[in-house]
């Protein structure tokens, strides 16, 4: 595929081969842009912003609505592309495409809701003759750096709000999964977006990503990815707005009064959706001592029934890890935990990029699996006797994206919701529950700012005060 550069589809002599992580087969190629191309893209984005900031609201709405309709018409094509280049099964991919359509539709709706407010200047003595208001203005060029695990919808979560709020945006998609981002750009281009308001530049992050991050004309960096990369960006970004979603080590608390069937089914899904390569992955399952054995038995049985295999097989529950390097990293994290005394309850086997759904207990605090994000199909069991003990376990890591609690007691749910240190608490749902309209983001090492269309639009705009001395 070609990349979208200043309103044109451009190819380059140097290519990157995009491979299916399942078997290494070639899917397509994309241009491998250099620093000079990214610099030129920013040059054009300056012109693109002059167009976007003057674009009437009805035009933004029309473009986004038409783009959503075009994705709907090509739903299966998008799903197949997403499943082939990434780590999701075809069933998971179809759900992501459906969410992407919703994300773009919500973005169109939010275009008409960017409003200001009158200010009573006469509250200050001497300002009796003054009248005014504030409006929200687009900030300029947005640099978006996106991950491989949701290669379509997480791009839409940056592109949709940027267009809705009158900004220009340059997307640098993950090197392993650029095709879904390019398909999204294709439909938005077909929907009538003017040149250079949206550009998708493919290449090595260390080269083109560095230009995007450090150029002072780029007024905001919206990054979703690993904490290490996020911290590196923070050191180099300069004086501009930052939005970062950096993952988590999400806890699920299972109380003794829970709906057992719901808790097991939801937690298994949360642990192994997208082979655990999910920022909301249910990594730590914290179970009341009185139901620990029963929950463990049911959970492990459901885990062993999970079908791992061909992503395009309709009956497959879980696909591969993104590449051999990441699969080896997950394998080593599990091995370290076992070597330090953890008990393997099921799984723990790797074949190429496939890693079996894995459950461990008795996790020592000294192993990386206890405190870091595993980003793979691995979860750990922990016992507790009191709710405060469970909350202490949940809050013990330097992450705070989303947490979950299963209970039928309202007082328990409310208390836990206030005490858990995170950006969202799911009651009687897994940590990986999310709708695209809600504020989404975390605290501590999980990032800065919030996504979710309304909240991303707020991040991508600034208030401007207008005051009249009458």
What is the token pair recorded at 465? 């005060």
Cα maximum dimension of the chain: 76
Return left, alpha or beta for 425; rule: phi > 0 is left, psi -120 to 50 is alpha, else beta.
Answer: beta
The catalytic position among 85, 96, 100, 279 is 279
The catalytic position among 102, 245, 326, 451 is 245
> CA 31 to CA 169: how far, in whole Å?
19
> What would the DSSP string read from start to end of 401-420?
SEEEEE-S-HHHHHHHHHHS
Is 279 assigned a catalytic role? yes
Is 258 assigned a catalytic role? no
Beta strand segments in 67-194, E: 117-119, 130-138, 141-145, 168-172
> CA 21 to CA 453: how far, in whole Å?
31
DSSP state of 446: G
Using DSSP's 3-state secondary structure scheme, residue 284 falls into strand
> CA 59 to CA 395: how far, in whole Å?
46
> CA 225 to CA 176: how far, in whole Å?
13
- What pairing do the DSSP bridges indicate for beta strands 282-288 and 378-384? parallel
Q: Cα angle at 71 between 151 and 449, to 5 degrees?
A: 45
CB distance 15 to 32 below 8 Å: yes
Residues identified as active-site: 245, 279
């Amino acid at each position: 595929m070609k990349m979208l550069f200043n309103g044109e589809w451009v190819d380059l002599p140097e290519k990157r081969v995009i491979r299916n992580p399942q078997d290494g087969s070639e899917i397509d190629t994309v241009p491998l842009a250099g620093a000079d191309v990214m610099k030129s893209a920013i040059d054009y984005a300056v012109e693109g912003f002059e167009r976007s900031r003057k674009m009437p609201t009805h035009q933004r709405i029309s473009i986004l609505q038409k783009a959503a309709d075009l994705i709907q018409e090509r739903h299966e094509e998008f799903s197949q592309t997403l499943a082939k280049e990434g780590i999701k099964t075809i069933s998971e991919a179809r759900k992501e495409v459906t969410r992407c359509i919703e994300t773009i539709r919500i973005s169109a709706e939010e275009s008409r809701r960017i409003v200001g407010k009158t200010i009573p200047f006469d509250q200050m003595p001497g300002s009796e003759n003054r009248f005014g208001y504030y409006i929200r203005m687009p900030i300029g060029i947005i640099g978006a750096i996106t991950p491989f695990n949701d290669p379509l919808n997480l791009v839409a979560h940056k592109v949709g709000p940027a267009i809705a709020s009158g900004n220009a945006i340059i997307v640098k998609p993950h090197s392993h999964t650029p095709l879904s981002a390019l398909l999204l750009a294709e439909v938005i281009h077909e929907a009538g977006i003017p040149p250079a308001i949206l550009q998708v530049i493919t290449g090595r992050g260390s080269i083109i990503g560095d230009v995007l991050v450090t150029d002072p004309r780029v007024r905001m960096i919206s990054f979703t990815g690993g904490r290490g990369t996020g911290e590196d960006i923070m050191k180099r970004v300069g004086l501009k707005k930052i939005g970062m979603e950096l993952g988590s080590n999400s806890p699920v608390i299972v109380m003794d009064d829970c709906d057992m069937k719901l808790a097991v089914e939801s937690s298994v899904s949360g642990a192994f959706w997208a082979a655990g390569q999910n920022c909301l992955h249910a990594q730590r399952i914290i179970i009341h001592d009185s139901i620990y054995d029963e929950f463990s038995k049911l959970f492990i049985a459901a885990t062993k029934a999970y079908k791992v295999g061909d992503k395009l097989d309709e009956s497959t529950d879980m696909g591969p890890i993104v590449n051999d390097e990441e699969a080896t990293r997950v394998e080593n994290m599990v091995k370290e935990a076992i070597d330090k005394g953890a008990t393997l309850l099921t799984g723990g086997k790797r074949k190429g990029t496939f890693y079996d759904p894995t459950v461990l207990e008795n996790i020592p605090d000294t192993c990386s699996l206890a405190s870091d994000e595993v980003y793979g199909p691995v979860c750990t069991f922990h016992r507790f006797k009191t709710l405060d003990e469970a909350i202490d376990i949940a809050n013990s890591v330097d992450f705070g994206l989303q947490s979950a609690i299963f209970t039928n007691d309202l007082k328990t749910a409310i208390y836990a919701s206030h005490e858990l240190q995170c950006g969202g608490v799911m009651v009687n749902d897994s940590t990986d529950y999310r709708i695209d309209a809600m504020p989404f983001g975390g605290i501590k090492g999980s990032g800065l700012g919030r996504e979710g269309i309304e909240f991303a639009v707020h991040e991508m705009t600034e208030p401007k005060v207008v005051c009249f001395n009458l």
